[in-house]
């Protein structure tokens, strides 16, 4: 929930770290800061606001010359967003400086102890406590920086990705990880440190991803030494070749990353099933499923754990798995799952879904499920992420980098992967006919082209957005496979426009929400022809009778809804189980255009961060 960047090498460090902060601003954007070592002392500048505010302040106040720097973009946990609470933080002596992503849960007791020893604190942060604890250990134990970091981290409770610099050791940066991501880019006599690989893509394609409870001393001319924090044992660095391209993390002519990512969905869905789906031969190949097929086929039930948009994808999957594969499914919020003493057995399969692969609650739920003997399968987008490493097996979505905080292509690619799994299990179990299986595969192959067609409604959707941009409340209704899409549509509107919205099963409207409906209430109703069409039309009639404003998401050629709705948005026809891949598109575009018309910061909505790495 914060972005950290560091550089040590032969280049000017400031522009590298500043550009890196811009690329990581999706992780936090309420304040930012940077520290540069100029060969004699540490220059530090930080400010409330965005990285652009930091850049302006640096130009006015700071000498940026130097080949070592660390920077931070913050999502506030301890202390309000202001200049003082922004990172980096000095130790009391001013010789050490730190950046930190995570939470030190026992910071209050540590702070009290340090105050008793004469330490003073300028900020309200847990991070300033940690850097002074490191300094205290360094002085009292008479140890080098790396050892001091290790000893200090064995005293803290919480989560962290940190980078620490000591001006007395100008050729090294010490980094460590527990629960928050940390990548080290390896160049020619230079190293890059970041929350993900995007800040150093143009400099090196070689990266090391630290595991939990590992620390590394990154040293010029001496390389990288990695140790386990608890046992002090040495770990051999594993260098990965990055597959990501720089073009994937720029806007490419679009006004916002979110709009770009909405329009990337046809290719993202295609990339997700490419190499896995062969409709002509009637085959689905997925190594993570093939290698563990008996665990799935013999499962008493499947438990899906996720948060936010990924939870909505899990709800769609519940309908698909139970309909096609006839396996009982439960969908759980990961944030609740671990705290309610769930019943988990060795015969359960747990599917954990996360775009980033770093979601703290989902990771904690995975560890709980594994401790109970369940088989855990991960679905995530980021190669080498914590969830990819922590699960027994898994499948990547291949959506490409998703920078916009409000998730779009992650949702549709997660549904694509989960549909492939459900179809494969249905074929193996014999719960789907040969002809129906082939029909599903053929229809899934056609989805990217149908998404492209749905995107052609953009201008029409923008006009509808302009009509309802000033609404104070909105209601989203769907049934069956499209009930979760109603939830997701409402979430998108809340996230980026700050308009209150609720998603409901259409049949539940009469059990409460109908009391809200009047001539000022826009109601977005997903009413495709497949499924419970007639019943949804009846719901629309009930809304119309109470003067509600109806925006229908309908199948091409629909006449019944068009005759009673205020507006309709058409999507191509497909199988009911695949319809969420199409019906979600207009709801994404509606939210986007409403937010733009209201002059919201679409890619960086207030109080939110892309990767939720703290509980």
Strand-by-strand arrangement of the 393-396 sheet? 329-333, 301-306, 348-354, 375-380, 393-396
Catalytic residue among 22, 450, 549, 610: 610
Burial of 474 (0-12, 13-18, 19+ CB in 10 A): buried
**Is 494 part of the annotated catalytic residue set?**
no
Supply 582's token pair: 């199409």
Is 543 within 8 Å of 527 (Cβ atoms)? no
H or E segment to which residue 45 belongs = strand 42-48
Residue burial 249-273, b: 16+ Cβ < 10 Å; e: rest = beeeeeebbbbbbbbbbbbbbbbbb
Q: What are the percentages of helix, strand and coil residues in the chain, rounded to 5?
A: 40, 25, 35
418 touches 313 (CB < 8 A): yes
DSSP state of 189: S
> Is-contact 437 426, C-beta < 8 A?
yes
Tokens 């989902």 locate to: 362
**Dist. CA 366–CA 390, nearest whole Å:** 8
Q: Please give the helix or strand (H or E) that residue 315 lies within, else none.
A: helix 308-320
Structure tokens at 450: 């149908």
Taking the alpha carbons of 573, 578, 583, 585 in that order, is the dihedral positive or negative? negative
Sheet holding 42-48, edge to edge: 42-48, 31-37, 68-74, 3-8, 191-194, 183-186, 206-209, 240-241
As a whole number of angstroms, the distance between CA 88 and CA 17 comes to 13
- How many residues does this entry show for the chain? 615
Q: Tokens for 106, please give them.
A: 């026992």
Separation between Cα atoms, residue 588 and residue 223, nearest integer Å: 46
Q: What is the 3-state secondary structure (H, E, C) of 554-589?
A: EECCCCCCCCCCCEEEEECCCCHHHCHHHHHHHHHH
610 part of the active site: yes
φ, ψ dihedrals at 378, nearest 5°: -100, 140
Whole-angstrom Cα distance, residue 358 to residue 348?
Answer: 23
Residues catalogued as catalytic: 2, 610
């Amino acid at each position: 929930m914060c972005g950290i960047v560091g550089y040590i090498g032969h280049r000017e460090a400031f522009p590298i770290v500043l550009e890196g902060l811009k690329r990581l601003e999706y992780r936090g954007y309420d304040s930012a800061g940077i520290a540069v070592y100029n060969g004699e002392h540490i220059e530090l500048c930080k400010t409330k606001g965005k990285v652009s505010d930091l850049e302006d302040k640096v130009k006015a106040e700071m000498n940026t010359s130097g080949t070592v720097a660390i920077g931070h973009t913050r999502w506030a946990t301890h202390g309000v967003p202001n200049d003082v609470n922004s990172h980096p933080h000095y130790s009391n002596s001013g010789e050490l400086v730190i950046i930190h992503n995570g939470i030190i849960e026992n910071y209050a007791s540590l702070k009290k102890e340090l105050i008793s020893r004469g330490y003073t604190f300028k900020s309200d942060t847990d991070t300033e406590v940690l850097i002074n604890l490191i300094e205290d250990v360094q002085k009292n134990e008479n140890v080098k920086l790396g050892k001091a970091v290790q000893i200090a981290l064995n005293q803290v409770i919480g989560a962290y990705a940190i980078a620490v610099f000591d001006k007395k050791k100008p050729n090294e940066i010490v980094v460590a990880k527990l629960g928050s991501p940390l990548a080290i880019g390896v160049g020619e006599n230079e190293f890059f440190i970041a929350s993900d690989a995007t800040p150093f893509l143009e400099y090196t394609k070689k990266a090391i991803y630290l595991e939990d409870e590992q620390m590394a001393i990154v040293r010029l001319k001496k390389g990288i030494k990695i140790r386990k924090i608890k046992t002090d044992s040495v770990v051999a660095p594993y260098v990965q070749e990055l597959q990501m391209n720089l073009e994937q993390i720029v806007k490419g002519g679009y006004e916002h990353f979110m709009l770009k990512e909405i329009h990337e969905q046809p290719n993202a869905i295609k990339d997700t099933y490419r190499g896995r789906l062969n409709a002509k031969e009637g085959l689905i190949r997925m190594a993570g499923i093939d290698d563990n097929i008996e665990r799935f086929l013999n499962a008493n039930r499947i438990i899906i754990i996720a948060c936010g948009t990924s939870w909505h994808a899990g709800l769609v999957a519940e309908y698909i798995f139970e309909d096609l594969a006839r396996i009982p499914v439960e969908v759980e919020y990961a944030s609740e799952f671990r705290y309610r003493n769930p019943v988990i057995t060795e015969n359960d399969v747990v599917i954990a879904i996360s775009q980033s692969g770093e979601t703290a609650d989902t990771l904690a739920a995975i560890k709980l499920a594994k401790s109970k003997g369940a088989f855990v399968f991960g679905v995530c987008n980021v190669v080498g992420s914590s969830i990819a490493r922590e699960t027994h097996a898994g499948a990547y979505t291949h959506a490409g980098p998703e920078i916009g905080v409000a998730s779009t292509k992650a949702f549709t690619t997660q549904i694509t992967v989960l549909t492939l799994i459900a179809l494969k299990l249905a074929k193996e179990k014999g719960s789907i006919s040969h002809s129906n299986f082939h029909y599903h595969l053929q229809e899934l192959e056609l989805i990217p082209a149908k998404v492209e067609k749905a995107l052609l409604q953009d201008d029409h959707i923008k006009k509808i957005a302009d009509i309802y941009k000033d609404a104070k409340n909105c209601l989203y209704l769907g049934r069956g496979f499209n009930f979760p899409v109603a939830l997701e549509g409402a979430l998108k509107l809340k996230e980026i426009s700050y308009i209150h919205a609720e998603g409901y099963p259409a049949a539940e409207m009469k059990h409460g929400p109908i009391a809200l409906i009047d001539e000022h209430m826009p109601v977005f109703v997903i009413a495709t022809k497949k499924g419970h069409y007639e019943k949804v039309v009846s719901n629309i009639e009930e809304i119309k009778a109470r003067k509600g404003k109806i925006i229908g998401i309908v199948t091409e050629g629909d006449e019944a809804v068009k005759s009673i709705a205020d507006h309709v948005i058409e999507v191509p026809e497909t199988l009911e189980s695949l319809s969420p891949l199409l019906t979600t598109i207009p709801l994404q575009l509606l939210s986007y255009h409403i937010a733009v018309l209201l002059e919201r910061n679409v890619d960086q909505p207030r109080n939110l961060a892309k990767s939720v790495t703290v509980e």
